[in-house]
Structure 1
Amino acid sequence: MPGIAAQRQALFAQMLADPSDLDAAFRYAALSAEAGDLEGAIATLERMLIFAPGLPRLQLELGVLYFRLGAYDTARTYLEGALSSPETPDEVRERVRPFLAAVEDRSSLQSLSGAVLLGGRYQSNANAAPESRTVNLNGIDFLLGDAAIRSADVNGFASGTLRYVHALPGQGDRFEVNLQSYGALYAERRELDTILGEVTAGPVFDLRRWRFEGTYLGVYAILGGVMLDADPYLVSGGVGTSLAKTFDPATQGLLRAEYRREEFRDSALRPTASSRTGDRYSLSGLLEHRLSDTLSVFAIGSGERRDADADFLSLWEGGATLGVTKTFVPSFAWTEAPWSATLSGGYAHRCYDDPDPIIDRVRSERDDEFFAQAALSVPVNDRWSIQSIVGYRDLSSNYDLRSFSNVSASLGVMRRF
């Protein structure tokens, strides 16, 4: 970084000539941090405390630098100091708060957090079935029975997430355990009653030790299972890795690659489920950017390969989702906590390896799926919130039996802890 080195040298000479020049000190510290010399940046700003003790901006920058260095107790001292002055500008307070929250999260040896959501859901096509009774199977039209065509239904559901974090000896390293669970009971289509759960566990490494600031590498094991209508349906296990990166205060990204071995179980209702047994490989990426304090956009890309025992169930899949989130406080709100509204939409394409001999002996299945969703989160207080989601899904396939559309709406109450 020859350009940065020359600028630092010039600014260093300027500081020697006028030790009270705060602007030169801030610029020198910023360049030092950019060059990876966090200790040099800290030393420069701490010298400035002699000339400007208690300056909120100075305490903020020192808090951020100590946070990046992993010295969370010292970072907390400076960040709290930046908030203590009644003359602290609003923009400084806004920058301090997320860093203080992150300090609390990372400095504790153990933490447990999670959420539970209870609610109800309506679907216009709960069983994801075609609207028409007539489908074409190998060139012959067949008439479907009532159970095989589109059916609306309602269900009650419960979902939960749990995250346990234990700090490891390496500064910034941690061990994480994440649990996701979901259960649904349907009013009519009881064969769709679902219980599922998945747990991941493994270490997360702070890559700052190799000068990758704001970058974390996770490696984890995966174990999951699904029951349908009280029958065991799927047992899965595998491994995954994640790479999280904060590019700047407004932009962050996440890459995730996972492998699962999936074992499907036959039952009286699903006697051929085991033909889906095989390997699943998935890759996904998320990029989120905050346009302002109340508006952010995100993009998700994903790809998947499934190798099933039955080749006509093996497939390639790719998709993308775009979305925007807006936070706001309505004039009639009973709390100062902001409401959150998210609009998203996306597309997915699936290509199956071989034709399904029962449906079409010549053509393999090709699916195009479009989906859109609107979600609203309304806080009741700092722990409770009301969650509502309206969604639309349309799947068009060259197999008549696979094409369907579905409108859904759900309302639930969430408790965070």
Structure 2
Amino acid sequence: MTAVSAQEPEESVRETVDRNLLEYQAQGSDRGESDFVGIPFEQVLATPENIQLNIAYARQQIIGGDLKEAGSTLERILLIDPAMHDVRVLYGLVLYRLGLFDRARYELELALDSNNLPPPLRAEAETYLNRIKYEQRQTRGSLTLTTGLDWDRNRNQSPSSGMVQSFLGVLPAEERNGDAAFIFSAQGRLIHDLGSQEGHTLHAEASYYHSDKHEVDRLDLDATTLALGGTWYAGDWSFTPRLRGGFYWLQGEDYQKTLGGDFEVAYRWNPHVKAYVTLRGEDENFRATTNFGSAPLRSGRRLGARSGLEWRFSTTQRLSVEAMYMDKQGDASCSLTGAVSGCESYGRYGANMQHSWLLGKGAFSLIGLWAERSEYDGVDRFISPSIVRDEWLYRARATVGAPLSVFLPNAPEGVKDINIIAQYEYETVDSNILNFDYDTHKAALLLSKRIAF
């Protein structure tokens, strides 16, 4: 479990709107709307004054993800009957999802001023009106706090064979240690709108992660990362450069510092599909600690590239596919004579796929699969005089979560939006060197809350 993975389940505001749009259309029959299936536009065009038909058609467009056309349909309904304030609230949510904040704010304020909304719908309209006001602030921020417990069946990554190789021969490995840990993370983000019509922004991020193991204390981890950058838009293109830094401690001792940056170029093909390429480079500086005296051998520069595609194929589901490549050039001397051998230099490539699903009422699921191959440049003569390390890593992870309001509907407002998250992960490494060939099962139970300011 990492600080990053602990934050992955957090929903964006727009995903929340998508969820509510879907729930709204699913509840249409409960509000007395006709259940039309597969309505052709010609039928709507033939009877434009049929309000129930138009509402059902708008619901159909929302299900299909065609929010722009759904907005036009809802606008047409309101021209026929401006007193349909529940439709006006739905229209406001659609406009919000389209990024038309001023128009969305106007429609929601008009619906609220009518004083004809039932209490639940009025509360929903007020919630999204406040979110619009937040989005329209020039500078806005958020803080996400996550805490909980995780468990790793093989915390020390003991080899599956129970043996390790060394220049002295094959020896018994350290026993597999299943261990629990208390984890805490805080992730802050500031966004400043530069006031341009295109929506250019500057942003800063800071995060802190703490993992306190119950038994394997030498792996107690504290990590702080910082990032500063901006995003500039040109039509469907976006460009995001960032400077990054990281500081890591093991059992309270200075272990690693990184300094570098990345540059992302993204292109939005349509409202449902986005492609991106990210280039990243950083210098890694490892320090010797009491339990990891050879850590400086891992110091050196690291370059990487990622390219992916995000496909939002429904209002509640998204599929991401990504390919990656990394080149690490270490300064290590892993030979008995002191010559640089390339034992900490490697090329790594792989792919991953993740599916996210908003299940309704704030619940969500994430399923991810990873496969990565690492090919090292030279032998580590402290382990083997002839075998160059070569391995595959495979990982599968499943995450489910929901706000506490699902289980405690009468909880205080400040508690309802806390997410409870459960996660399971299986990881295995297939290596040609005994020392690195292992597998493990991991699980975590977390509580996470996002605070906007």
Asked if TM exceeds 0.5, the reply is yes
Residue 72 of structure 1: how far off its partner (Å) = 4.9
Please tell me whether the aligned partners of residues 226 and 232 of structure 1 are also in contact (alpha carbons under 8 angstroms). yes
Matched letter for residue 352 of structure 2: T
Matched letter for residue 317 of structure 1: R
2-side partners of 1:66 and 1:151: how far apart? 48
Alignment CA distance shift 1:255-1:181 (3 Å):
farther
2:102 match: secondary structure: helix
Residue 165 of structure 1: how far off its partner (Å) = 0.6
Residue 78 of structure 1: how far off its partner (Å) = 6.0
Please tell me whether the aligned partners of residues 134 and 141 of structure 1 are also in contact (alpha carbons under 8 angstroms). no
Alignment CA distance shift 1:74-1:378 (3 Å):
closer
Structure 1 counterpart of 2:377 = 353
Structure 2 counterpart of 1:166 = 192
**TM-score, normalization by structure 2:** 0.68
Alignment CA distance shift 1:152-1:106 (3 Å):
same
Residue 199 of structure 1: how far off its partner (Å) = 0.9
Deviations 1:41-80 (A, max 9, x none): xxxxxxx99x8796989x969x969977xx8535643687
Cα RMSD, aligned residues only: 3.6
Identity of aligned residues (%): 20
Residue 151 of structure 1: how far off its partner (Å) = 1.4
Matched, 1:115 2:144: yes
Matched letter for residue 376 of structure 1: V
Matched letter for residue 182 of structure 1: Y
2-side partners of 1:67 and 1:84: how far apart? 23
1-side partners of 2:269 and 2:104: how far apart? 20
Question: Which residue of 207, 231, 241 maps to 1:204?
Answer: 231
1-side partners of 2:131 and 2:384: how far apart? 55
Question: Which residue of 305, 308, 312 maps to 1:283?
Answer: 305
1-side partners of 2:306 and 2:429: how far apart? 21
Structure 2 counterpart of 1:304 = 326
Structure 2 counterpart of 1:142 = 170
User: What pairs with 1:332-411 in structure 2 (closer than 5 Å)?
Assistant: 337-381=361-405, 383-411=417-445
1:191 match: secondary structure: helix
2-side partners of 1:392 and 1:231: how far apart? 29
Deviations 1:344-402 (A, max 9, x none): 21211001111111122223110101111110112114520101100000001011111
Matched letter for residue 307 of structure 1: Q
Q: Which has the higher contact order (CA 8 A, sep 6+)?
A: 2
Structure 2 counterpart of 1:264 = 286
Please tell me whether the aligned partners of residues 184 and 193 of structure 1 are also in contact (alpha carbons under 8 angstroms). yes
Residue 295 of structure 1: how far off its partner (Å) = 2.8
User: What pairs with 1:31-50 in structure 2 (closer than 5 Å)?
Assistant: none
Structure 2 counterpart of 1:6 = none
1-side partners of 2:138 and 2:175: how far apart? 54
Residue 342 of structure 1: how far off its partner (Å) = 1.8
Matched letter for residue 188 of structure 1: E
Structure 2 counterpart of 1:176 = 203
Structure 1 counterpart of 2:336 = none
Structure 2 counterpart of 1:324 = 355
Matched, 1:313 2:344: yes
Please tell me whether the aligned partners of residues 119 and 156 of structure 1 are also in contact (alpha carbons under 8 angstroms). yes
2-side partners of 1:290 and 1:83: how far apart? 32
Deviations 1:304-323 (A, max 9, x none): 11111122101111111123
2-side partners of 1:152 and 1:144: how far apart? 18
More strand by share: 1
Alignment CA distance shift 1:103-1:259 (3 Å):
farther
Deviations 1:98-142 (A, max 9, x none): x9899656521111113111111111100112133333335x642
Unpaired segments ≥5 residues, structure 2: 1-47, 49-75, 116-124, 333-341, 406-415
2:368 match: secondary structure: strand
Structure 1 counterpart of 2:264 = 242
Structure 1 counterpart of 2:242 = 220
Residue 174 of structure 1: how far off its partner (Å) = 1.2
Matched letter for residue 142 of structure 1: V
Structure 2 counterpart of 1:185 = 212
2-side partners of 1:100 and 1:286: how far apart? 34
Structure 2 counterpart of 1:231 = 253
Please tell me whether the aligned partners of residues 67 and 75 of structure 1 are also in contact (alpha carbons under 8 angstroms). no
1-side partners of 2:403 and 2:80: how far apart? 41
Alignment CA distance shift 1:73-1:305 (3 Å):
same
